[in-house]
Amino acid sequence: AQQLGTPLSDQEYRQFFRSLRAAHRASTACLLRALYGCQNPVVQRLDKYENHGVIPEGPICSELPGTPFFPDFCTFSFYRCTRKRYFIKV
């Protein structure tokens, strides 16, 4: 069992994004995020699943070279969506 609020392991990320692996599916999830924001229950459920049940509070460190810090998980997720770098982890 993983600690609440920790990011998924590499294997868990593969499972999590399996349904989003096609770019159109990932972009659809991003469209939901853009339309409804991070407070939407569906978006929050995805964010919680991605982080073992707890949406991390900021600041967020990422694997993105040159852009390692974000003020919160919502900002990080929007960044992934706008850059179409859907599978970058925190």
Q: What is the pLDDT along the chain (90 residues), one digit of tens a residue?
A: 577 888 888 888 777 776 655 666 778 889 999 999 999 999 999 899 888 899 998 898 887 777 778 999 999 999 989 988 877 777
List b or e across 21-58, with b for residues whose CB sees 16 or more CB atoms inside 10 angstroms. Answer: eeeeebeebbeebeeeeeeeeebeebbbebbbeebbee
CA gap 21, 87 in Å, rounded = 9
The whole model's pTM is what?
Answer: 0.70
Q: Where are the alpha helices (DSSP H) in the chain?
A: 10-18, 23-36, 41-50, 73-83
